[in-house]
């Protein structure tokens, strides 16, 4: 399928089935802001839960926290964002559109078609000026400079300024990490590609504090760990690769940076970054706050400012990756089918339950099965509308791995059919075993 | 305990154990903004999970969604927030402090002590002017009026503008609801009481769309349902009450409003609001967007603009309620003890596992038990530092319901002790049964 095709089909499926809607659509939309619908929020919740489980609950050496979006403005002076978190902005004096200077070759000018090589050669472009990407607002009842606060452009700084609070309260020894999931905001000049680059987005970031000298080893370990995590979501290995930043790409705080890229329909793009941030951030916060942030080892009494290995993944990008990787078109019994082959653990609905007919006690039995699944915390969906074939198709598009049908035979021998989304196999099991069957399937399917 | 005492002790415990830290503390803090530490974020996650499970996963008739914080500015014109979401602000011309006019009696002036009756009588106060409580910022690369956007002051509007999208995609019939959990922002003139009133906070709101005429019945049903939910978190019934808004208190959109209040150490305060918003919001969005938002019944073809019954609870307030309700001081074996008697389902750590000594194979066995609990998705904590008594005290303060100790006898007969936080009873069970014992306890304890 051509790139445009796939993205158009995905955006359309996302709206039709309730994964993702354009924000404020009835008002013509808000630029590159998206809302998650009923299925989308469940998919996103599953991504966040998988990250939190792997990064926090299954480990001794990483603790979670949740810093506020609005922080003290000095935080962003110390981090370098006030001075340096900028993009070079140029304006076409004719069409008045604004562009990132470093992305001119692939930008759309009002007078030229998208992706035309040299589209801006004959445009009258302004000189580039630096444009800060932080959203700013005013806190307290006075709109004056003293009350300017920023919407955080990353969660990481919240972990740095709380480093000693967390280390002390959670009685951690180096090496240990602080994990956060939360919203961040960047006033991108040219956002785009659906939920890939948006002005409001969600990050899952982990800062791992280590003794200087052990940072390179930890960098490798975390890079491998994070690559394994993406594979555990059921993504095809050939669609993931590493990209090491060259000296010209490295951020000011980074000694080394490797991206984990995914092959989206619009190209290989950054999904996650693993960064060796050295002691840059903690040192700057010491300098700007006047507070010591050294770690003192309770055993030997060694004192040092830790180095930080950061893993930073976009939650929305991970959702988009899962949608892209799972999207399939095939033909079933002579009929075209769209299916999201999501890993069962990621699927918004684990099991849909259908009564074959709306009578004969079948709806009641189907309801009982749904209730039993829900009691075991398994998201389940009841549907009695339309033919069984149409009900299957809707669940295929929702990515539901198993459909359970209650039919005439159920009232005779107590068995139901379970239909597998991918193999299309149907087998009969006793209705009392549906819950166990789904739980086993979740264990097997990851 | 006196009111001041309890709050001071709670704030201190919250910092010491890593529930809640002041935001940007190393920079002197950010006004009334707080960060959740390792235990606090787990408690908050449990609150949100309990809400989402009860409101979305366990029901057929409520669907989740997640709208963006940054919405189209017309949304807030339609909702009435641009024109009317204001507080009357007065300034003391002498000390330059600003106050809400309606809260002068309990405000602190720079020249007068807190809570002094008539503290402002001889102050030179300015005339009151209306101050809008929405934070505003600028989207896109131009800081001009056209690009003004607001940080949402409530999640509800995201559900209204997506009403038809959700109804269609999720194939819902009236009555049905849309549930959201997310951050909201209000530039309060006088925030306070720890995490009770903050400028950045998290809401869990559900909008239930019903046929006009059935709204009063649904209002009562939801009020009862929500009251039951708070009780299910383990809160003492005598600390909850209802407060019906009088005609002078009712918001412009509301036909009826009843608060569920909790008896905080600083008084009875709103925890949750249940509101009959009529068709006010949908009607206004029709008017401002020019789009029809009528519901068309697929069966009878009846058309109408639904009424909305809203349930809106503060997540941070619920966390504060749980901390206040669970806080106890008692004496155990002649020693003072602070304990958070949280319901097991709400506790950040379900089981802590201690080797009695750091040798004899005890740490290895304790680690195996922790791993077994984690594999079953039970948050568990390993601790080998200090006397068993001190380790118990730390877990009491963290609200951990069960402590498991591996001792010499474990290596002989395979049993461990499980100590109950509240009854202080200790019983020996086989180490292979710890996981089952904790899961049973979670089922029993709710």
Residue A416 and residue A385 share a domain: yes
pLDDT digits (tens, 9 = 90+) for A271-284: 999 999 999 999 99
Residue B195 and residue B63 share a domain: yes
Asked if residue A9 belongs to a domain, the reply is yes
pLDDT of residue A399 exceeding 80, the answer is: yes
CATH number, domain of B173, equals 3.30.930.10
Q: Do B141 and A187 touch (CB under 8 A)?
A: yes
Residue B357 and residue B261 share a domain: no
Of A24, A67, A171, the CB nearest to B71: A24
Residue B51 and residue B29 share a domain: yes
Residue A260 and residue A182 share a domain: yes
Instruction: Name the residue range of residue B203's domain.
Output: 3-74+135-323
pLDDT at A113: 43
pLDDT at A12: 95
pLDDT digits (tens, 9 = 90+) for B410-428: 999 999 999 999 999 999 9
Among A97, A132, A167, which residue terminates a domain? A132
Of A38, A53, A65, the CB nearest to B37: A65
Neighbours of A136 (CB within 10 A): 16
- Residues of chain B positioned with their CB less than 8 A from the CB of A47: none
Residue A295 and residue A147 share a domain: yes
pLDDT at B106: 61
Torsion sign across C-alpha atoms A327, A328, A332, A337: positive
Residue B398 and residue B423 share a domain: yes
- Residues of chain A positioned with their CB less than 8 A from the CB of B363: none
Question: How many Å apart are CA A240 and CA A269, to the nearest integer?
Answer: 10
Complex-level ipTM: 0.94
Interface A–B counts its CB contacts (< 8 A) at: 221
pLDDT digits (tens, 9 = 90+) for A352-365: 999 999 999 999 99
Distance from CA of A251 to the nearest CA of B (A): 22
Residue A395 and residue A269 share a domain: no
Asked if residue B337 belongs to a domain, the reply is no
Asked if residue B40 belongs to a domain, the reply is yes
pLDDT at A248: 87
Q: Do B66 and A35 touch (CB under 8 A)?
A: yes
What average pLDDT does the structure give for chain B?
92
- The DSSP output letter for B133 is -
Residue A125 and residue A143 share a domain: no
Asked if residue B247 belongs to a domain, the reply is yes
Closest CA to B51 of B193, B155, B161: B155
The three-point CA angle A57-A231-A155 to 5° equals 50
Of A135, A142, A385, the CB nearest to B137: A135
Rounded to an integer, the average pLDDT of A242-270 is: 93
Of B25, B74, B131, the CB nearest to A165: B25
Question: How many Å apart are CA B253 and CA B270, to the nearest integer?
Answer: 18
C-alpha of B419 from chain center: 30
Asked if residue A197 belongs to a domain, the reply is yes
Picking from B24, B78, B89, B368 by the largest number of A CB atoms within 10 A of its own CB, the best residue to mutate is B24
B234: left (phi over 0), alpha (psi -120 to 50) or beta: left
Q: Do B57 and A377 touch (CB under 8 A)?
A: yes
Residue B58 and residue B17 share a domain: yes
Pairing of strands A426-430, A415-420: antiparallel
Confidence of residue A299 (pLDDT cuts 50, 70, 90): confident
Query: CA neighbours within 13 Å on the CB side: how many for A74?
Result: 16
pLDDT at B5: 87
Distance from CA of B345 to the nearest CA of A (A): 14
pLDDT digits (tens, 9 = 90+) for B139-173: 887 665 568 899 999 999 999 999 999 999 999 99
Q: Do A38 and B64 touch (CB under 8 A)?
A: yes
Picking from A15, A18, A49, A107 by the largest number of B CB atoms within 10 A of its own CB, the best residue to mutate is A18
pLDDT at A141: 73
Q: Do B70 and A23 touch (CB under 8 A)?
A: yes
Q: Do B165 and A37 touch (CB under 8 A)?
A: yes
pLDDT at B119: 54
Confidence of residue A112 (pLDDT cuts 50, 70, 90): low
Nearest residue in A to B35, CA atom:
A67
- Residues of chain B positioned with their CB less than 8 A from the CB of A74: 24, 27
Rounded to an integer, the average pLDDT of A275-304 is: 94
Q: Do B66 and A57 touch (CB under 8 A)?
A: no
pLDDT at A90: 81
Picking from A66, A100, A133 by the largest number of B CB atoms within 10 A of its own CB, the best residue to mutate is A66
pLDDT at B118: 52
The three-point CA angle B379-B385-B386 to 5° equals 125
Which residues neighbour A13 within 8 Å (Cβ) at sequence distance 6 or greater? A19, A327, A338, A340, A397
- Residues of chain A positioned with their CB less than 8 A from the CB of B45: 52
Question: How many Å apart are CA B222 and CA B211, to the nearest integer?
Answer: 15
For residues B346 and A444, the model is more confident at B346
Asked if residue B437 belongs to a domain, the reply is yes
Distance from CA of A364 to the nearest CA of B (A): 14
Q: Do B165 and A138 touch (CB under 8 A)?
A: no
pLDDT of residue A109 exceeding 70, the answer is: no
Torsion angle of C-alpha atoms A169, A172, A176, A177, degrees rounded to 10: -10
Of A64, A72, A141, the CB nearest to B42: A64
CATH number, domain of B414, equals 3.40.50.800
pLDDT at B261: 98
Of B39, B72, B89, the CB nearest to A141: B89
Confidence of residue A127 (pLDDT cuts 50, 70, 90): confident
pLDDT digits (tens, 9 = 90+) for B312-362: 999 999 999 999 999 999 998 888 999 999 999 999 999 999 999 999 999
- Residues of chain B positioned with their CB less than 8 A from the CB of A131: 141
pLDDT at B121: 60
Pairing of strands A307-314, A200-210: antiparallel
Point out which residues pair with B62 in neighbouring strands. Answer: B177
Asked if residue A80 belongs to a domain, the reply is no
Q: Do A135 and B138 touch (CB under 8 A)?
A: yes
Of B33, B58, B141, the CB nearest to A189: B141
pLDDT at B115: 40
Of A35, A66, A135, the CB nearest to B162: A35
Nearest residue in B to A191, CA atom:
B140
Question: How many Å apart are CA A443 and CA B361, to the nearest integer?
Answer: 31
pLDDT of residue A71 exceeding 80, the answer is: yes
Q: Do B37 and A374 touch (CB under 8 A)?
A: no
Which residues neighbour A115 within 8 Å (Cβ) at sequence distance 6 or greater? A106, A108
Nearest residue in B to A137, CA atom:
B137
Distance from CA of A343 to the nearest CA of B (A): 19
pLDDT digits (tens, 9 = 90+) for A323-370: 999 999 999 888 899 999 999 999 999 999 999 999 999 999 999 999
Nearest residue in B to A149, CA atom:
B30
pLDDT at B145: 57
Of B23, B39, B65, the CB nearest to A41: B65
What average pLDDT does the structure give for chain A?
92
Q: Which parts of chain B sit beneath pLDDT 50?
A: 113-117
Asked if residue B331 belongs to a domain, the reply is no
pLDDT at A324: 97
Query: CA neighbours within 13 Å on the CB side: how many for B438?
Result: 29
The three-point CA angle A332-A337-A341 to 5° equals 100
Residue B232 and residue B144 share a domain: yes
pLDDT of residue A408 exceeding 60, the answer is: yes
- Residues of chain B positioned with their CB less than 8 A from the CB of A77: none
Residue B191 and residue B50 share a domain: yes
Structural domain count, chain B? 3
């Amino acid at each position: 399928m051509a790139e445009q095709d796939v993205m158009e089909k995905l955006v359309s499926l996302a709206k039709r089935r309730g994964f993702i809607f354009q924000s404020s659509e009835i008002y013509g939309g808000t630029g590159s802001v998206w809302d998650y619908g009923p299925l989308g929020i469940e998919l996103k919740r599953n991504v966040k839960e998988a990250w939190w489980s792997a990064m926090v609950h299954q480990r001794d050496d990483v603790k979670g926290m949740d810093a506020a979006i609005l922080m003290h403005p000095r935080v962003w002076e110390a981090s370098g964002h006030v001075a340096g978190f900028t993009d070079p902005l140029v304006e076409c004096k004719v069409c008045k559109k604004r562009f990132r200077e470093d992305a001119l070759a692939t930008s759309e000018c009002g007078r030229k078609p998208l992706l035309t090589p040299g589209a801006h050669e004959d445009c009258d472009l302004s000189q580039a000026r630096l444009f800060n990407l932080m959203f700013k607002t005013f806190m307290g009842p006075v709109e004056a400079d003293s009350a300017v606060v920023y919407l955080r452009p990353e969660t990481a700084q919240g972990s740095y300024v709380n480093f000693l609070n967390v280390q002390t309260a959670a009685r951690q020894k180096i090496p240990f990490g602080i994990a956060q999931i939360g919203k961040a905001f960047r006033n991108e000049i040219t956002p785009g590609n659906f939920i890939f680059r948006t002005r409001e987005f969600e990050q899952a970031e982990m800062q791992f504090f280590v003794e200087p000298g052990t940072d390179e080893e930890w960098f490798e370990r975390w890079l491998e760990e994070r690559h394994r995590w993406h594979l555990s979501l059921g993504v095809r290995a050939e669609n993931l690769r590493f990209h090491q930043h060259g000296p010209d790409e490295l951020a000011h705080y980074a000694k080394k940076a490797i991206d984990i890229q995914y092959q989206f329909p619009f190209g290989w793009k950054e999904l996650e970054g693993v960064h060796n941030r050295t002691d840059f951030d903690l040192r700057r916060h010491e300098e700007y706050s006047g507070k010591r942030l050294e770690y003192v080892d309770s055993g030997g009494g060694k004192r040092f400012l830790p180095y930080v290995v950061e893993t930073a993944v976009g939650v929305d990008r991970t959702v988009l990756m899962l949608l892209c990787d799972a999207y399939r078109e095939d033909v079933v019994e002579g009929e075209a089918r769209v299916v999201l082959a999501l890993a069962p653990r990621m699927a918004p609905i684990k099991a849909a339950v259908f009564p074959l007919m709306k009578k004969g006690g079948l709806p009641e039995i189907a309801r009982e099965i749904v209730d039993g699944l829900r009691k075991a915390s398994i998201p389940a969906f009841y549907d009695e509308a339309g033919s069984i074939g149409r009900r299957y198709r809707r669940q295929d598009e929702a990515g539901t791995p198993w459909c359970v049908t209650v039919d005439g035979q159920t009232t005779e021998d107590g068995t139901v059919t379970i239909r597998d989304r991918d193999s299309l196999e149907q087998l009969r099991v006793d209705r009392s075993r549906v819950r166990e069957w789904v739980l086993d399937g979740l264990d097997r399917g990851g």
